[in-house]
Amino acid sequence: MVIQKEKKSCGQVVEEWKEFVWNPRTHQFMGRTGTSWAFILLFYLVFYGFLTAMFTLTMWVMLQTVSDHTPKYQDRLATPGLMIRPKTENLDVIVNVSDTESWDQHVQKLNKFLEPYNDSIQAQKNDVCRPGRYYEQPDNGVLNYPKRACQFNRTQLGDCSGIGDPTHYGYSTGQPCVFIKMNRVINFYAGANQSMNVTCVGKRPRHYRDKGRDEDAENLGNFVMFPANGNIDLMYFPYYGKRFHVNYTQPLVAVKFLNVTPNVEVNVECRINAANIATDDERDKFAGRVAFKLRINKT
Amino acid sequence: MGKKTLEIYSVELSGTKDVEQTDKEDGKERYRGLKNCFHSKKDHHTEKLNKELDLDDHKLSIKELEKKYGTNIITGLSSTQAAELLAQNGPNALTPPKETPEIIKFLKQMVGGFSILLWIGAILCWIAYGIQYSMNKSSSLDDVYLGCVLALVVILTGIFAYYQEAKSTNIMSTFNKMIPQQAFVIRDSEKRTIPAEQLVVGDIVEIKGGDRVPADIRLLSAQGCKVDNSSLTGESEPQARSSEFTHDSLLETKNIAFYSTTCLEGTATGMVINTGDRTIIGQIASLASGVGNEKTPIAIEIEHFVHIVAGVAVSIGILFFIIAVSLKYQVLDAIIFLIGIIVANVPEGLLATVTVTLSLTAKRMAKKNCLVKNLEAVETLGSTSIICSDKTGTLTQNRMTVAHLWFDNQIFIADTSEDHSNQVFDQSSGTWASLSKIITLCNRAEFKPGQESVPIMKRIVVGDASETALLKFSEVILGDVMEIRKRNHKVAEIPFNSTNKFQLSIHKTDDPNDKRFLMVMKGAPERILEKCSTIMVNGQEQPLDKSTAEAFHTAYMELGGLGERVLGFCHLYLPADEFPETYTFDVDAMNFPTSNLCFVGLLSMIDPPRSTVPDAVTKCRSAGIKVIMVTGDHPITAKAIAKSVGIISANSETVEDIAKRLHIAVEQVNKRDAKAAVVTGAELKDMSPEQLDELLTNYSEIVFARTSPQQKLIIVEGCQRQNAVVAVTGDGVNDSPALKKADIGIAMGIAGSDAAKNAADMVLLDDNFASIVTGVEEGRLIFDNLKKTIAYTLTKNIAELCPFLIYIIVGLPLPIGTITILFIDLGTDIIPSIALAYEKAESDIMNRKPRHKKKDRLVNEQLAIYSYLHIGLIQAVGGFVVYFTVYAQEGFKPSILINLRVEWEDSNVNDLEDSYGQQWTWYQRKYLEWTGYTAFFVGIMVQQIADLIIRKTRRNSIFQQGLFRNKVIWVGIASQIIIALILSYGLGSITALNFTMLRPQYWFVAVPYAILIWVYDEVRKLFIRLYPGSWWEKNMYY
């Protein structure tokens, strides 16, 4: 990097370095005297101390503008996204029926995921609400009044509840359950007071398709949904936020695929049908919908 | 044969011929520079050169020559022959030195400076994509785009730099075409003037004193012809030329005149034997053109700066690559971090900005009559510490002008300013009436007709320099001189010659009642006085006694001591009875008296200094620049001019002056007492380099008189041994080595030869010394302003870099994207950094020492530290505050962001929880991330406005400098804001650019930090002003 104008011998270079590190004549260490080093350290201590204080102050001021209860802006969350459980790395549910290990981790995850939905816990923590209408809980003058949540019992998931299920959510028989959930958005009145439900279809991405025929629709076969029709009730809305809506239970829709064509990859897309949720966002592939891959390997 | 010619040739080049045998060693040393110029070619091309030199044209008789070239010395070539030969041999011009092919120049721009780093970045991008693609076929093309953008940036800046360079080269080449050389040639039995380029072998040409020899010529006849071969052989003595063959060697024989040498006096006719590149000088030129130019100081500075920045970029990049890998990041991610770090560290737009800044200054200098050939010379002039200046034409007006008059026992001062308008001496005396008559009548110079509307001082005169001076002087004072001469009809005249040393004419007077003839005479004062027996005082003739003769001598010595050329004037009214109206005067028989005349007065002339020069010299002095005068003139004249312009200041003395004052011998004077020295060429010749060094260091005011152009080179080398940056002026062909050797060669635009202009770095369009000083001022200003520009540009690099480092270490979502950084570096920051070039100087620019080449760097430690670790860090903190604000108000409070990176970037995680329990899809997060980019971008932009304002000064307060004096700064600020607005609101919908529409209030979040930057810098400057020389200044002043 440094251009050597005059050729220096190796010894000279070492000597110069030595002198730079400690110059005994001027008592300079790395080109500065002790006092100079003291000054410079003190200076940076003060300067960076001040800068840290300034940063802390401005951050504190900024955080005063943010409430604990709702975020200041929610413009990005106009359309809630959909997501599946079990959560896998590439959103693909692959089940080797004969190979227990291939699906055991899914089962473990689901067990854990569904634990809060156990009827006993629900009954203990949450209210029984009237279906078909929003469960609104205005503050009524009490600031940040803690909010109650509605029950979503695990038994509502029927065959997919996994309670006393020897098939392990159907994974051991090649009829797996996949759970669909909608992202939580504070103060979002999903469905705009009309009933809403989740529907799923087999749908191969357009550029993989053969001449307009959608094989995945055929390969997907039959499925059943719990609650029936894939309904999501209005009573689970609105959500009031983590801090004040402590025991909020997210509604789920379980889809049990009954006879997927084995040994092929099937693309499944589930979307929510709700009056105020658009599901056709070009850029956000998960706005109001979720796409995942299903593959049942049987020998 | 070959060997022999070579020997002769090298002897010629080393110029030992005019050096005494005894000091042969010195002689060799002295001409070393010249030899060096021609050295390289000798080794490689001796073979070719020797073959070419093997010509025998000088040995042939005229008849043989006519036969050989198919020409006739009376009628010349026919036009058709000439045209054929021209087509066959090409024009008679030197092929310009082989230029680097355009494509190479272009490619050099592509890989120079930071380009290499960016290429590495681009290639890393493509490699990263390659790895991604091999792992996952559907991986996004983002990295490919980024790589392309980086490549595009390099190519565009490369094209820009190339275009700038080409433009500045063009200015020069058009300038060169402005001055075609003419040749006087016989063709078709006719004498005609044609451009020298069209000469062909066999043409018969005529040359006269003052001409440049248009080609290699075999002389056929010559009258008192002398040529200056110094540009070829290094001999400063004029060489006589004749038509006789005197030496076997082509280079030594007298009947050959060489291309591009100068004919000093006499006339000659000759036949062209070689043209263009086949001439001797053409061969040398083509061989010597390989001599590389040294790097300009600014090029060294920029290189140094590029090294610093590249060093920082590479070491931080590698450091964090290692950190990233040891933090268990994937290598692919680490590569992408590396790209980000490189892009953030490299000020992509800076080199283009520097080029623009330099060319803006070059333009400004061109307006002030300094035409700069290569942009970098702009700054070199600013670091100049010694100027070696010619006298004639540069320091002086290059025309004789009447400076003093002596009559009635009194010296009067005439106005020597450029327009002569203010002649205040007493014109009521009768003596003046007589003197003015003599001045008017005893003068053969005439104005060229048709110049009535031209100011007197600018009219063209036919006549020699002193007569011209007298004509203009009398025209200014008396009015229409030609009319006066008409009324006083001239009946006889003896022109001036060097034996008589006087000039005489006899006139009828314009007084109709006075039938006497008036004889007027002027000449060398002592000769004139010898012829006089009376002297005129207050209009009355008085006998010339001893006391008046004494007064005359005193005045004569005094005027002579001023270095002026003194003329004496006398007259005589011839008695009407002896010389009736019909008397016929015979100038050969001298049938009239030339003694016992009446002495009227003295008049002295000098080539006066340009009126702007004394100021300019004072400026140089206060700027710590030593001005050395180098002239061929007489030491007394040189010293007088040096004194009048201040090169030798009023109160300093030379050794000789002290000796004279104390009435002791020169040897007894303590040399340390003298500040000034006048050294003649002869003295210089006897000096060893050590003695010259001693002279240059010990005396602050030096005048070299009676020097040859070759000695100029020795002087330049001497100055450079003192580690000085030397500027040299020159006009002759033979000045070229000195001009080339100097750090900055300055050729004269009016008086300069093409060779000088080619060798020079700068051309002075008005030949005025004061323009050099203006140039120095501009050069210093540009150095200061470049410092400011670089400081401004470097600052935000830290603000761009910190996000990456924090991203890697803390795992925040990326605060600012690579593309966004490019939009700062090449978008919002460009115009502001150019605007700093328009900044006025902080008051002290010409009051400080020239910068020390090695100590005062463009980018020094203080500048880098202050930009990086002070202002840069404040900016980074400010940027982060804006970033955190955007995230917090959208739902992600700072605490949750830590270590969120992996999940945040995983496109399969579509239910990421924020601080409120809301869940985000990948795209929703991505959009927020882009909003964060935009916010950070705006944060930096807002703080860069403050940075721009503080960079206006380095020491003074902004309020001393004036906030609104540099309007361009405000254009820059406006451009920053407008570009940012367009990016955010206009292009916010184009996802590839990663900009989003930012809420208006976020534009103001960083304002407190902008104010902090301003206040902090004001405090810094205040302490620097309050405690000069303190620890604070040493560490904080850049």
The pTM of the full predicted model, rounded to 2 decimals, is 0.77
- Hey, are the CB atoms on B910 and A1 less than 8 Å from each other? no
Q: B328 pLDDT exceeds 70?
A: yes
**A65 interfacial to chain B (CB closer than 8 Å):** yes
d(CA B172, CA B150): 34
Helix, strand, coil share of chain A (percent; to 5)? 30, 20, 45
Q: Considering CB atoms only, which of B869, B889, B920 is closest to A65?
A: B889
Lookup: tokens for B848: 């400080």
Which chain A residues in 165-184 lie under 8 Å from chain B, judged by CB atoms?
Answer: 181, 183-184
- pLDDT value of position B51: 44
Average pLDDT for B969-982? 94
Please give, rounded to a whole number of angstroms, the shortest distance from the CA of A49 to a CA of chain B. 12
Strands of A223-226's sheet in order across: A82-85, A177-182, A252-257, A223-226
State the pLDDT at residue A3.
Answer: 36
Distances (CA, A) of B459 to B449, B752, B789: 10, 22, 48
What are B645-701's pLDDT values in tens digits? 999 988 888 888 888 888 888 888 887 788 888 998 888 888 888 999 998 988 889
Question: Is pLDDT of A281 > 70?
Answer: yes
Mean pLDDT of B792-821: 91
pLDDT tens for each residue of B605-637: 888 888 888 998 998 888 899 999 988 888 888
Closest partner residue to B916 (CB to CB) among A62, A242, A290 is A242
Tell me the residues of B at the A interface, defined by beta carbons under 8 Å apart: 303, 307, 310-311, 869-870, 873-874, 877, 880-881, 884-885, 888-891, 893-894, 908, 910-911, 913-924, 927-928, 991, 999, 1005, 1008-1009, 1012, 1031, 1035
Find, among B210, B215, B212, B188, the residue nearest to B199 by Cα: B215
Closest by Cβ to A73, choosing from B889, B893, B920: B889
When CB atoms are compared, the residue of A66, A83, A283 closest to B888 is A66
The percentage of chain B sitting over the pLDDT mark of 70, rounded to a whole number, equals 89
The residue to which tokens 């309007």 are assigned: B967
User: Best interface-test mutation with B: which of A6, A42, A44, A66 has the largest number of B CBs within 10 A?
Assistant: A66
Residue of B nearest to A287 (CA): B921
Closest CA of chain B from A299, distance in Å: 28
DSSP result, B702-722 = EEEES--HHHHHHHHHHHHHT
B541 C-beta neighbours (distance < 10 Å), count: 15
Binary contact (A81, B880; C-beta < 8 A): no
Confidence of residue B231 (pLDDT cuts 50, 70, 90): low
Options 2.102.10.10, 2.60.40.1660, 3.40.640.10, 3.40.50.280; CATH for A82-297 is 2.60.40.1660
The least confident of A105-119, B229-243, B380-394 is B229-243
CA angle B820, B824, B827 (to 5 degrees): 110
Return the residue of A nearest to B1009 by Cα.
Answer: A54
For residue B291, name the pLDDT band (cuts at 50, 70, 90): very low
Residue B36 is predicted with a pLDDT of: 41
pLDDT at B323 over 60: yes
Contact list, A80 vs chain B (CB under 8 Å): 919
Nearest Cβ partner of B1008 from A58, A242, A287?
A: A58
C-beta atoms of B303 and A73 within 8 A: no
Answer whether B777's CB lies under 8 Å from B845's CB. Answer: yes
Q: Give A241→chain B minimum CA distance, Å.
A: 5
Cβ separation B918–A89 shorter than 8 A: no
Alpha-carbon distance A1 to nearest alpha carbon in chain B (angstroms): 6
Residues of B in contact with A290 (CB under 8 A): 910
Structure tokens at B534: 């009376």
Cα(B971)–Cα(B993) distance, rounded to whole angstroms? 25
Q: B226 falls in which pLDDT band (50, 70, 90)? A: confident
The CA distance from A16 to the nearest CA of chain B, in Å, is 17
Collect all residues of chain A within an 8 Å Cβ-Cβ radius of residue B873.
Answer: 48, 51
Distance CA(B572)–CA(B434), nearest Å, equals 10
- Are B340 and B800 in contact, with CB atoms under 8 Å apart? no
What's the CA gap between B111 and B120, in Å, rounded? Answer: 11
Judged against a pLDDT cut of 50, whether residue B28 lies above it is answered with no
The whole-angstrom distance between A269's CA and the closest CA on chain B is 15
**For residue A28, pLDDT beyond 60:** yes
The reply to whether residue B881 touches residue A58, judged by beta carbons under 8 angstroms, is: yes
3-state SS class at B223: strand
Task: Report CB contact under 8 Å: A72, B920.
Answer: no
Contact B921 A40 (CB under 8 A): no
Pick from B559, B563, B553, B496: nearest CA to B530? B553
The structural domains of chain B, ordered by start, are: 65-79+180-290 (2.70.150.10), 297-365+776-1036 (1.20.1110.10), 370-395+610-767 (3.40.50.1000), 401-575 (3.40.1110.10)
Which of B873, B891, B923 is facing A51, going by the closest CB pair? Answer: B873
A77 chain-B contacts, CB cut-off 8 A: 891, 918, 920, 924
Burial call B285-303: b when 16+ CB within 10 Å, e when fewer:
bbbbeeeeeeebbbebbbe
CB proximity A287 to B under 8 Å? yes
What's the pLDDT score for residue B16? 32
Query: Which of A41, A72, A76 to probe the B interface (max B CBs under 10 A)?
Result: A76
Mean pLDDT score, B763-777: 86
Q: What is the pLDDT of residue B238?
A: 67
Lowest-pLDDT range of B318-332, B410-424, B591-605: B410-424
- Which range among A20-24, A206-210, B174-178, B457-461 shows the weakest confidence by mean pLDDT? B174-178
Lowest mean pLDDT across A60-69, B110-119, B144-153, B834-843: B110-119
pLDDT given for residue B420 in this prediction: 63
Which is it for the CA torsion B886, B891, B892, B894, positive or negative?
A: positive
Best residue of A52, A286, A289, A293 to probe chain B, by most B CBs closer than 10 Å? A286
Specify whether the CB–CB gap between B830 and B1005 falls below 8 A: no
> Is the CB of residue A77 less than 8 Å away from at least one CB of chain B?
yes
Whether B311 and A73 lie within 8 Å, measured CB to CB: no
Most confident range, picked from A166-175, B773-782, B936-945 = B936-945
**Does the distance separating the beta carbons of B916 and A241 come in below 8 Å?**
yes
For the record, the structure tokens of B707 come out as: 């020097």
Binding-face residues of A in 245-274 toward B, CB within 8 A? 245, 248
Rounded to the nearest 5°, which phi and psi values hold at A200? -125, 145
User: Residue B737's pLDDT is what?
Assistant: 73
Is the sign of the CA dihedral B89, B92, B98, B104 positive or negative?
Answer: negative
**Interchain proximity B890–A73, CB inside 8 Å:** yes
Is the per-residue pLDDT at B1004 higher than 70? yes
* Confidence band of B99 (pLDDT split at 50, 70, 90): low
Q: Confirm if B114 and B351 have CB atoms less than 8 A apart.
A: yes
Distance from CA of A176 to the nearest CA of B (A): 20
* Phi–psi pair at B484, nearest 5 degrees: -60, -45
Look at A81 and B920 and tell me if their CB atoms are within 8 Å. yes
Q: Nearest chain A Cα to B903, which residue? A: A89
pLDDT tier, B285 (very low <50, low <70, confident <90, very high otherwise): low
Q: Return d(Cα B84, Cα B78) in angstroms, integer.
A: 10
Could you report the per-residue pLDDT of B374-421, keeping only the tens digit for each? 777 878 888 899 999 888 778 888 788 888 899 888 888 888 777 666
User: pLDDT value at position B17?
Assistant: 33
Mean pLDDT score of chain B: 82
A-B contacts at Cβ under 8 angstroms: 125
Contact B910 A183 (CB under 8 A): yes
**Minimum mean pLDDT among A283-287, B324-328, B882-886: which range?**
B324-328
Within its chain, how far is the Cα of B944 from the centroid?
35
Contact assignment for B911 to A181 by CB distance below 8 Å: yes
Mean pLDDT for the stretch of residues A198-207:
83
pLDDT given at position B12: 31
Residues contacting residue B339 through CB under 8 Å, at least 6 positions apart: B121, B124, B125, B128, B146, B818
Q: Of B284, B241, B231, B287, which is closest to residue B261 (Cα–Cα)?
A: B231
SS3 A159: helix
Give me the pLDDT at residue B31, please: 39
Considering chain A, what is the average pLDDT of its residues? 87
pLDDT over threshold 90, residue B976: yes
Q: Catalytic residue numbers of B?
A: 390
| Contact criterion met (CB < 8 Å) for A184 and B918 | yes
SS3 B683: helix
The CA distance from B224 to B242, in Å, is 8
Q: How confident is the model at residue B1016 (pLDDT cuts 50, 70, 90)?
A: very high
C-alpha distance from A249 to closest chain B C-alpha (Å) = 12
| 186-205 in chain A: CB under 8 A from chain B | 186
The DSSP H or E segment spanning B404 is: strand B401-407
B526 versus B708: the higher-pLDDT residue is: B526
Query: Which chain A residues contact residue B923 at CB under 8 A?
Result: 281, 283-287
- For testing the chain A interface, which of B916, B923, B927, B1023 should be mutated: the one with the most A CBs within 10 Å? B916
Report which of residues B170 and B871 the model is more confident about.
B871
Angle (nearest 5°) at CA B873 between B966 and B802? 120
Report pLDDT for B233: 57
Say how far residue B534 (Cα) sits from the centre of its chain. Answer: 55
Average pLDDT over residues B699-714: 84
